Amino acid sequence: MKFFLDSAILGEIEYLYNAGICDGITMNPSLVKKAVEGLKGSAEKATLESYITKALKIAKGTPVSLEVTELGAREMIAQGKALYKKFNPVAGNVYIKIPADPSFDGNDGKDLDGIFAISELHKAGIPVNCTLIFTPEQALAAAKAGANFVSPFAGRIDDMLRKGIGANFGKEDYYPASGLVRDDQLVEDNGIVSGIDLVGQTVKIFRQYGIKSEVLAASLRNARQVREAALVGADIATMPFNVFRELLIHKLTREGMEKFTKDTPEEFRKLV
């Protein structure tokens, strides 16, 4: 499974590429907002354009998803093409992120606009990551339209399921992949019992039909979710910097290190 960093912060991008465990980057408007706020506070006079350019160079050879912010099909296509034209020449690694359904007003008739945009960008040879996926059928439609990556958002499904049962929870809390039972009923959203279940069902359908689009497990908030995304066969896991760090933490590893360090004989240190 490939590891992508879900961040637009240059320091985090540099750090993980230098560590050699980053296979790509995903950005979204909220992550770019964070980076812009950071830029305003820094002494360095970088522009957002130069900042993204640096990120693309660091990530050369691996995909970087840049998300459109327009809402209509025509506008998303134009913005997607313009972003690709501007930034892909930097390192040849830009993927355009298109929402499964850009409509936030149920009656605006834009529900298929994401699919139109994916088809059009695909025809133009522009790689696409379809984002904000909450059902396997959205993923299927995006794959049919030509999306290279489909991004089911695991953590946000878990948040919604927890909210539905009035649970108190922190953003990074673990939600069981097999779901929770309340009043003898499995808590679910339209047949999905957890974010990892959403990823797993999507993978299963794609494998069943030999669909080539890669399943990119997104909105992962803790290390155990990353493991479970791997267990259900996700091709890619995108995660924030803190989750990358969490992957390595175990108290016995730390205790073991303390003991090994104390036990190391001076003679061994002098060997090299």
The span from the CA of 141 to the CA of 152, in Å, is: 13
Q: Fill in the amino acid letter for 60.
A: K
Closer residue to ligand E4P, CB minimum distance, 96 or 218? 218
Q: Which one, 181 or 220, has the nearer CB to ligand E4P?
A: 220
Helix (H, G, I), strand (E, B) or coil at 59: coil
Bridge partners of residue 2, in order along the sequence? 236
Span from 135-143, 189-197, 218-226, 228-236 in contact with ligand E4P (CB under 6 A)? 218-226
- Interhelix angle for 195-209 vs 223-231, to 10°? 20
Question: What's the CA gap between 272 and 50, in Å, rounded?
Answer: 44
Q: How far apart are CA 233 and CA 227, in angstroms?
A: 10
To which residue do tokens 């050369």 refer?
60
Site for ligand E4P in 227-256 (CB under 6 A): 238
Catalytic residue from among 85, 97, 171, 259: 97
Q: Does the active-site annotation cover 97?
A: yes
6 binds ligand E4P (CB under 6 A): yes
Using the rule CB under 6 A, is 117 a contact of ligand E4P? Answer: no
Least distance from ligand E4P to the Cβ atom of residue 155, Å: 5
Site string for ligand E4P, 144-183 (x = CB under 6 A): -------x-x-xx---------------------------
CA distance 133 to 84: 22
Least distance from ligand E4P to the Cβ atom of residue 221, Å? 6
Would you give the binding string for ligand E4P spanning residues 24-63, x where CB under 6 A is met?
Answer: --x-x-----------------------------------
- For residue 26, the cross-strand partners are 6, 65
Residue 64's DSSP bridge partners are: 25, 94
Residue 134 interacting with ligand E4P (CB under 6 A) = no
Determine which residue in the list 198, 199, 218, 226 makes contact with ligand E4P, applying CB under 6 A.
218
Alpha-carbon separation of residue 9 from 103, 161, 200, 236, 238 (angstroms):
28, 30, 29, 20, 14
Question: Which span (108-116, 180-188, 196-204, 214-222) binds ligand E4P, by CB under 6 A?
Answer: 214-222
Q: Which residue among 148, 194, 202, 219 contacts ligand E4P (CB under 6 A)?
A: 219
3-state class (DSSP) for residue 215: strand
- Dihedral of CA 20/125/87/39: which sign? negative
List contacts with ligand E4P (CB under 6 A). Answer: 6, 26, 28, 131, 151, 153, 155-156, 218-219, 221, 238
